[in-house]
Amino acid sequence: MPLHVSQAPTPALHSVLAALGSPTLREASTPALRSAEGPLSAELPLPVHVLGVTAPADGPAGAPATRLAGWRFLIRGGEVTLAAADTLRTAGGWTFSHFFEGPYLTSTERALRQAEASGSPWQPRLLSVPELYMLTLWLHGDPDADPALGAPDPADVLIPLAPAPPGIAAHRPHRVADLLPRLAVRLAPPPLLGSTA
């Protein structure tokens, strides 16, 4: 069953297409884009959410909180993914941020193939955990949900992308209910010196 890829906001897509059409693309972008021949396209838009864990004063300890931080597009030349493009929300709307290459590209494509093979009707998103330098493919169980909203549901699935933090295997799918408590322990602030727990 195909994944239910969300439609990115039109200004986000237009900002990436403008960057791809810029005369400075060949000078300021990644090596793969500088050497690319032929037309480039921005495909497979994925909303990028950032995960935080609420402090006890803000809500129940360890409760997941997410916010939409941007949209990521895979940049393809022919049949090959060459780079990715990130967009950010600013006071003036969506704007292009940067192009990049690296292991997350191959890992994202591999995780998407895993998700498609599962046969479930997922809405793919990316979930970033900046404090752990971790990125996961977040498979949201409601394919018709607004991709900009919502926290991970316990039944949703997270596939850590490579490179994953120590102790977490890349490309091993986890239910949110199983993985988030492990991440919350790592994100919890250390106890104050001299305090007893």
Q: What tens digit of pLDDT does each residue of 9-33 get?
A: 999 999 999 999 888 777 767 899 8
Secondary structure (3-state) at 188: coil
If residue 90 lies in a helix (H) or strand (E), which one and from where to where? strand 80-90
Query: Is pLDDT at 58 greater than 70 in this prediction?
Result: no
pLDDT of residue 76: 95
pLDDT of residue 197: 52
The whole-angstrom separation of Cα 55 and Cα 189 is 9
Secondary structure (3-state) at 169: coil
The whole-angstrom separation of Cα 61 and Cα 188 is 9
Of the candidates 36, 35, 40, 37, which has an alpha carbon nearest to the alpha carbon of residue 21?
A: 40
Tokens of 34: 């500088």
Distances (CA, A) of 35 to 22, 29, 38, 82, 194: 15, 10, 10, 10, 58
The whole-angstrom separation of Cα 8 and Cα 112 is 17
Q: What tens digit of pLDDT does each residue of 94-138 get?
A: 999 999 999 999 999 999 999 999 988 999 999 999 989 999 999
117 or 53, greater pLDDT: 117
Secondary structure (3-state) at 71: strand
Q: What tens digit of pLDDT does each residue of 60-87 get?
A: 545 568 999 999 999 999 889 999 999 9
Distances (CA, A) of 88 to 67, 99, 181: 12, 12, 28
Q: What tens digit of pLDDT does each residue of 156-186 get?
A: 999 999 999 999 999 999 999 999 888 887 7
pTM exceeding 0.75: yes
Q: What is the mean pLDDT of the chain?
A: 88
Q: Where are the alpha helices (DSSP H) in 48-89?
A: none
pLDDT of residue 23: 83
